[in-house]
Structure 1
Amino acid sequence: MSGSRVDADVEVRIDTRVRLMGALLAVTGYPTSIQKSRPHGVHVFARNTRRMLGDMSADPTVVQLQSLLDDGISLETLFALSMHLHPTTFELVRPLPGWVPSNLAANIRDFNKRTKLSLWFEKERAAWEKAEEESRNVFNAARFQSLLAQFFDNVPAKLVFVPNLLYPSDREVTVLFNGELICIAPPPLAWGDNPPWAYDDPAMLSYSLFNALGGYGKLLLDRELEANPGVIEEAAEQALPVNEQFRAAYPTWKEQFRELFAYALTALYLEDYVSDREYRAFVLIEQRMRGMNILPGTVNVMRRYMKERGHKYATIADWIRVFPIQLRLAKRFVNL
């Protein structure tokens, strides 16, 4: 991002609890399962960590975590639970929800001791310092707050980005914890099984921004939907005008809307805060790669909401109800 330096909206930091949870995921069945659904290259640190730890499928902590995954507990929930631990001792410092196994925190702490992971992370500190520096290069002038505030009330004052060289290796995880909106994200994926790009590679700038801004936007959107039950069901009475490629990737109306919102939010940011060139390149790639031919129309509809919020629409829920109609009209206009 060019121009004079400004104070960033996003704090970049390494979180030891995130690293520990990522290492635990590395020795569950999770890495194998995601490669089946989405083959991709992982960071060399993730590969080396799995090799260093070896087969730990019978370890009591791994068995417990695998059971939670099998029960459908989300990655967002697991990483949020890890933040209840002290960042150095991994002792429990905040009470866990009642449904969590009472010995989970102690088991995670003991896993860290048994595997001597702290020594491993110290030995490989350079990789994490590099990821942190790359991330700072991406977010050192990020101005997300002003854009998010045009869609949501009560945006958390603190936005945090945590680079993650372990797992999940194919997507971000965003959590709201202790008043902070925290995005945990891997480096941008490369083609095929090639290792991922650097966070700050110029060719991948848009996708590092997307991981964070899209993650923040989807979590805030989910909060609005939870506060307004029935909105999705009402809006979903009208199908969204997406093509079959996009529909196959995101089968439900809610999934389609969340993804369109996140990608269009990023496109808006690129156009308004980065450059027209980055905006156009991002839109073109998404149209070709993911079949998002509707992305320009979505951007137009979201700009219209930004202008009419507080006047025609009291809340974002009011706008979601008419989103399908507006998107169809925008698609027709863009395609003229």
Structure 2
Amino acid sequence: MRAWAELLRLPALFTVPGDTLAGAAATSVRPGRRTLLAVAASLCLYEAGMALNDWADRAEDAVERPHRPLPSGRVRPAAALTAACALTATGLALTARAGRPALTVAAPLAVTVWSYDLGLKRTPAGPLAMAAARGLDLLLGAAATAGHVRPALPSAALLGGHTLALTTVSRQETRDGTPTAPLAALAATGTLTWLLTRPRNPPTPPDTDPHPSRPGTAPSPPPGPLTALATAAYAATTARAYLHATLNPSPPLTQRAVGAGIRATIPLQAALAARSGSPVTALLTAALAPAARRFARRVSVT
């Protein structure tokens, strides 16, 4: 069981429900049974990607990470591939139960996961594919809950930006790298922090309005304390680790930065939910962080 926990990176599983919950929150529609089906499907597709990742990397891991479950012989490659196929099929079946809009998002999400693991990961498009997968995962929650995804697009873009920076850093976690990737990730954290804490609709000065007959755009209220608190937790979780990896881009510090970036996904999701006006969803998402930290002490998330 421990070998399978390592293969599936179980501590990282706590970062998944917040995707669909943040997507549901963005629609301002109350979550229901279809939202829960989307959460379950998201968990299945995420774990399918974990199993498929190690199956695709088994030859490389035999050299760089011989302790991993497949190269060490604790899990058979055929079993990992079978698990990936079964989890993918289960995830798609669950989204079919959640409705056609959810399945319309889940199908390209599954294709993105498999494409990343089987080929795109080793190309320059790899980080973009991973960012797209996280963004689609958030949109899955919106599609299942409300039947449309448009209100969730800004949240998906912010989550995708974090994932893009994190995945770029992770590409050099097994070798000495350059400070460029963690420095860029540090800058991305600062940008996302600013975007999360600024008003969503800044006022439009009347003298610069291209449509004089229309009143200026009413400003939205500043983010509430819950949004600010979750955003601060996100920035605090990533900033120090990214800075250390920038100053010394060695494998241990880079792996630590990647782990911090993965854990920071939870407060980021909570901030997105709170920013959308769903404090209960934000608190439920944030409550997953302690469990993620506790399990990460036993099983590596990278």
TM-score class, shorter-chain normalisation, is under 0.3
**Larger gyration radius, structure 1 or structure 2:** 1
The structure carrying a bigger strand percent of its residues is: 1
The structure carrying a bigger helix percent of its residues is: 2
TM-score, structure 1 as length reference:
0.25
